[in-house]
Every structure is written in C-alpha cells, then in structure tokens.
Chain A
C-alpha cells in the first residue's frame, strides 16, 4: 500500500489557526519554505490542523517535518525539535483532528510503516484575533526556516 522509497519526497506541514496571532507561525514558515529553491523536491503544506486522512500523505513521504506553535511556557520564540513517536493509545484522536503521535500511529497501522517524523515547535507569546505574529516569534522565523530546511534535506545531503 505504500509508495516505493525511491519515489518518496520529504513532506513539511505548517499548521495552526491562521487568524490567531502566534498560532499561525507554522503557516508563515511553510509559506517561506514553499519559495525555497533548495526545497523544490519537498512537498510543503499549510493547514489548520492535522487530520486522519493525512496518514495517506505521511505514507508516501520519505520523512515528515511538522511546524506548530507551542503554549509550553518557554521564552516566546524558543524553538524545540523533537522526534514524534507513534502513540497507539490514540489519546489524541478525535473526528476531524488528530495529534501528531496518533497520526504517526495511524499511518503505521494502515500502511505498515511510517516515515521518520520531527516536530518543530515555536513557543508562543499570544494568540489574539489577529493575523500578526508577536515580535519574538517573528524574530525566530529565520532560525525555524533554517532548521526545517536542514531536517527536510537530511537524507538527501547524507
């Protein structure tokens, strides 16, 4: 059911609410990445939330990098990178959204395998009803772009 490895491309997904301040950071980064010449062979998506049907996209990707805002209490603009491991307990499954660990588990269960998946988070400052990032989160974007670019191309550069 999976696509042959040779045909797989890296997949980058920036997600969040585009109209809620720093929650849109994934969208901003994804929009910039989509213009990157070095990422011409990378699929880049901007979406509101992770959904179960993305399992099919995961299954046909060589690796996945997710970009999201995090309300983790860290200094706004702090960037963290973590591996996403499958969560078969699926505590984060609902109807039209699902958390990253459950999505990796779903991909694994459906297609027998799931690509290596990284989550890049940016600690948020505020989520007002605005289409504008806070200064510290906006300042972090160049770093996030560089990190995601490196993670996306890791296999190809190896």
Chain B
C-alpha cells in the first residue's frame, strides 16, 4: 500500500503552506508537492477600481517587498498613460527598488537562512533563530540588522515610511529627492559596505561546511529567467527578459511585455499558488527558476565592480551555470553588495536631484504591463482598463509562482533521500524546510494571501489516505 507524508508546519517562510509526500506501493517516494493553503484574491478586488490606485493597492499584498509591487504596478500604469517617466523619476524608482532588494535579502539571509547555516540543519530549533545567532556570533547578527535597517531607512527617506510608501506613482514619483536626504543616504553607505564585506568573508570561510547541502538541496537542471540590461548585466528595474537553459544556452530573449508569448500559467488543483511554465516546453518540462541564482546564470554580470569581483570568485568555485538552489543564499549576499553599489552610483549623478520626476497624462491605452525584478525574482503586473481607466481585469505573475515547479522538484529530491517506506530519517523535516527556504518564497505574494507563517506538510498512501502528519 502506498503512503503519504505530511509536514506541518514549515517555519521561517512568508505565508501558510503544506507539503505532501506521496509514497508508492513499495514505500518509495513517488512524488512530492508544495501546496499553498490560503487565498485572498487580490486580483479580483482590483476590478472596478481606478488604475491609478493600483500601485498603492498592489503594494498591500506584501509587507516585505511592497516596493517591487509598487514598481511593477507603476510601470504598468505608465503604459496605460503611454508615458515614459523622466530619467530622474525612473532612477528614483530604481533606487527605492534596490533599497528593498537589500532589506529583503538581509531578512532572508540573516533572519531566515542564517540560523541553519550557523547552527547546522539538525540543531535544536529553540536556538536556531536570530537571537541564538546574536548570542554566538553578535557581529553577524548585528550586520544583518544593520543591512536591513539600511534598506528600510533608504525606503523611509525616499517614501516617507518604511512599509507601504505611496511615493511611486503612475508617471514617476511624487516628490523629488533633496540634497539633504541624498546626503543622509550617502552617509550610511560606508557602514553598509563594511557589514556586507564582513558577511561575505564569513560566508566564504564556511562554504566547505555546507558542501552536502549544496549538493542535495534543490540541485537539478532547469532553465532560468531574469531581466538584463543592454550590456547583458543584471537589472532590477528595466530591460529585456532572458531565458537560458541549464547550460547557459539562450532559449529566448524578449521585451517583457511579450511575456505571454513565452510563459504560461496553469491551475494546480491542490494549491492556491498558480505555477508558470515555458510555453515552448509545455507544463511537464517547462520548469524554470527566477531570483538571484537565475540572475547570475543568465546575466553577464552585475555591472558594478565589487559585486562583479565577488561574482567572478563565485563562478570560479561553482562554474558559470550552477544548478543548486542552495546557492540562492550566496547569490543573495552578492546582490546585497550590488544593491549598495548601485545606490551609491545613482546618488552620484547630479540629476538625481532634478525636480522633473513625473510625467502626467490621461488614459491612452487599455492594456498596461509592468515588469520588474523583485528580490525573489521576476514580477509581472498586467491590467486591462476601460476608456475611463477603470480596471476590468488584473493578472499578477509572481516570483514564487515562477519558482513553484522548482520548489516541488527540490522537495522531491530531499524526500527521496530521507524517506524510505515508513522510515523518515532524522533531519528530513529540516531539509524539506531548508530547500523551500532557499527560494525565500513569499506566499502572501504568490496567492495574495494574508501572511502569517507556518506552512503545513502531509505523508499519504497511494489511495490518497493520509497516514502521517509531521509537525513540531
């Protein structure tokens, strides 16, 4: 009789979820599934609202990455207005998005992932947290707090508050940057560099200790997708979408507004998360990954000197097309460095203080598509409006949706290693959680659900009967 294993809850992720592990008649793992079990229907409640409300409204989906939703929504609204924001308006949007990359990656790396990295994946959960790190490695915890505060403070300086600022609007941004605010941000940059440099040194010194996790946590071949600028470097604000295969071979490169020619969505009956796939390969074979790992695979580099030096050293160890999802953590850290560098670059441009930050217009198009790179990967907003600008339909494709199939593949890989018949090896639960955590999934974003944490997991037999529910 085949069996099914359920793990519940899964901790240190954003949102509620559940994992089902399906056993076959011989007791071997046949399949594994990551379900998101909550629903809020954000797209539906946007219908009937004026399009100009979309940036502020969509930002409410998430308290961690509201700025990415602001950016994607505002870019979609730019298309509806048929305007291009003034350069300073675009630069200021990019600045805020980079600050969010820094703070979100810091949360993911230092608060969520670092407890596993510092204490080991089998350590007592009671000590595997940020307070535990603070007691054993206060420098590391302090640097995490400093970097998160840096990103949040930049967002607050620009937008007036650190969560859900309404400063990014259709056509640009609401207010220019003052010299005083620019200087306040600049003054924080040296400490941010020092913190990320120390963390990179610590991370690289410990790399060999995580070799088993690198080999086994989500280590498989897949395609990758990310946005690149004209030179082929990573961009988080505006560029072309590039899809590359596991070996780096180009699959497609296109204007993000043409995404529907390359990407499909399908409904998973067992989850509120709507996965995506490459149309050219179909649902079964169309898995791809997005986010920091994807960005370093598809792009030439970051286009900033310090991050590119770190990337070069990363590629010397892991090659140009690494396949392990565990490396999301390392690439997040490199991207924090890039974010600080890019913020510094943008602030050096005297035009960043220009008063011309917004372009005004009326409704000139009925469809608007906005795409940006969020911390967790590519984020797409598509709105259809009537001639009065009232939203008729809204569709969001979120990083966690792009990564859904890869998360399933990662859970399956771990389950096959640690589950044999009714025997569940010690550490299996921790590894399942850890592989999900590599992707830093935001279930609030992917289902637009009210975000609290614990994800659930189940073990089921071939007839569909739950035989075991694991939790702590």
Name A residues whose Cβ lies closer than 8 Å to a Cβ of B.
1, 48, 52-53, 55-56, 88-91, 93-96, 98, 102, 105-106, 109-110
Q: Which of A55, A90, A96 lies in contact with B129, CB distance below 8 A?
A: A90
Q: Assess A55 versus B453: contact at CB under 8 Å? Given A95-B107, A96-B64, A109-B135.
A: no
Contact B453 A94 (CB under 8 A): yes
B4 shortest CB reach to chain A, Å: 28
> Chain B: interface secondary structure?
helix
The answer to whether A106 touches B134 (Cβ under 8 A) is: yes
Contacts of A56 in B (CB 8 A): 145-146, 149
**Which A residues are in CB contact (< 8 Å) with B207?**
none
Most buried by A among B14, B126, B129, B146: B129
- Which residues does chain B contribute within 8 Å of A93, judged by CB atoms? 129-131
Cβ of B149 and Cβ of A53 under 8 Å apart?
yes
A109 touches B131 (CB 8 A): yes
A48 touches B163 (CB 8 A): yes
Smallest Cβ-Cβ distance to B127: which chain A residue? A90
8 contacts between A and B (CB under 8 A): A48-B63, A53-B152, A56-B149, A88-B135, A90-B131, A96-B14, A96-B107, A109-B131
Once A102-B131, A106-B131 are accepted as A-B contacts, the answer to whether A95 and B453 lie under 8 Å apart by CB is: yes
- Report Cα–Cα, A89/B124, bound state, in Å: 11
On whether the beta carbons of B146 and A90 are closer than 8 Å, the reply is: no
Residue of B nearest to A51 (CB): B148
Answer whether residue B224 sits at the interface, using C-beta atoms and an 8 A cutoff.
Answer: no
Contact B12 A1 (CB under 8 A): no
Contact partners of B63 in chain A: CB under 8 A: 48, 96
B145 & A55 in contact (Cβ 8 Å cutoff): yes
Closest Cβ–Cβ distance, residue B155 to chain A (whole Å): 13
In the complex, which of the residues A53, A96, A102, A110 has the most CB atoms of chain B within 10 Å of its own CB atom? A53
Which residue of the partner chain B has the closest CB to A112? B138
Whether B138 lies near A109 (C-beta < 8 A) is yes
| CB neighbours of B421 from chain A (8 A) | none
Report B-chain residues with C-beta under 8 Å of the C-beta of A105: 131
Known: A53-B152, A95-B12, A95-B14. A106 touches B142 (CB 8 A): no
Q: CA A1 – CA B145 in complex, angstroms?
A: 13
Closest approach, in angstroms, between the C-beta of A104 and any C-beta of chain B? Answer: 10
Q: Which 3 pairs between the two chains have the least Cβ-Cβ distance?
A: A109-B134, A90-B131, A93-B129
Which A residues lie within 8 Å of B134 (CB)? 55, 106, 109-110
From residue B367, how far is it (CB to closest CB) to chain A in Å? 32
A110 and B145 contact, CB distance less than 8 A? yes
Question: Is the C-beta of B111 less than 8 angstroms from some C-beta in chain A?
Answer: yes
Docked complex Cα distance between A91 and B141 (Å): 17
Q: Which chain B residues border A98 with CB–CB below 8 Å?
A: 130
Cβ–Cβ contact B132 & A90, under 8 A: yes
CA distance A48 to B161 in the complex (A): 12
Q: Name which of A48, A89, A105, A110 has the most chain B CB atoms within 10 A of its CB.
A: A110
B308 to A: closest C-beta gap in Å:
29
Query: What does the 1/0 interface line of B141-159 toward A look like (CB < 8 Å)?
Result: 1100110110010000000
Q: Name the interface size band of chain B.
A: 20 to 34
A90-B131, A110-B134 known; A52 vs B111 contact (CB < 8 Å): yes
Interface contacts beyond A53-B145, A91-B126, A96-B14: sample of 5 additional A-B pairs, CB < 8 Å, sorted by A: A53-B149, A55-B134, A88-B135, A95-B111, A96-B63
B396 within 8 A of A: no
Residue pair B14, A88 in contact (C-beta under 8 Å):
no
Q: Smallest distance from the beta carbon of A20 to chain B beta carbons, Å? A: 12
Judged by DSSP, the binding face of A is loop
Q: Which A residue sits closest to B134, measured CB to CB?
A: A109
CA distance A53 to B146 in the complex (A): 7
B166 to chain A, nearest CB (A): 14
Say yes or no: is B112 at the interface (Cβ < 8 Å to chain A): yes
Contact present for A52 and B135 (CB under 8 Å): no
How distant is the Cα of A1 from the Cα of B421 in the complex, in angstroms? 53
Nearest CB in chain A to that of B130: its residue: A52
Cα distance A51–B398 in the bound complex, in angstroms: 25
Residue of B nearest to A105 (CB): B131
Chain A residues lying within 8 Å of B132, measured Cβ to Cβ, are: 90
Report B-chain residues with C-beta under 8 Å of the C-beta of A95.
12, 14, 107, 111-112, 453
Q: What chain A residues lie within 8 Å of B129 (beta carbons)? A: 90, 93
Q: How far is the CA of A102 from the CA of B132 in the complex (A)?
A: 11
Residues of chain A with a CB closer than 8 A to B131's CB: 88, 90, 93, 102, 105-106, 109
User: Which residues of A lie under 8 Å from residue B453 when comparing CB positions?
Assistant: 94-95
Contact of B141 among A48, A88, A102, A110 (CB under 8 A): A110
Of the candidates B12, B142, B148, B163, the one whose C-beta lies within 8 Å of that of A94 is B12
* Residues of chain B in range 412-469 having any CB-CB distance to chain A below 8 Å: 453
Bound CA–CA A88/B111 (angstroms): 16
- Nearest CB of B to A112, in Å: 8
Q: Knowing A89-B126, A95-B107, A96-B107 touch, does A52 contact B145 (C-beta < 8 A)?
A: yes
Closest-CB distance, A122 to chain B (whole angstroms):
23
Residues of B within 8 A of A52 (CB): 111, 130, 145, 148
B107 contacts A109, C-beta separation under 8 Å:
no
Q: Which of B175-211 contact A (CB under 8 A)?
A: none
Q: Which residues of A contact B135 (CB under 8 A)?
A: 88, 109
Which chain B residues (199-235) contact chain A, with CB distance < 8 Å? none
Complex interface: chain A residues within 8 A of B146 (CB): 56
Measured in the bound complex, the distance between the Cα atoms of B409 and A34 in whole Å is 52
Per-residue A-contact encoding for B7-27, CB less than 8 Å = 1, 0 else: 000001010000000000000
A42 to chain B, nearest CB (A): 20
**Residue on B nearest A89 in the bound complex, by CB:** B126
Report the Cα distance A93→B127, complex, angstroms: 10
Within the complex, what minimum Cβ distance (angstroms) separates B328 from chain A? 16
What 1/0 mask marks residues of chain B from 60 to 83 whose CB sits below 8 Å from any chain A CB?
000110000000000000000000
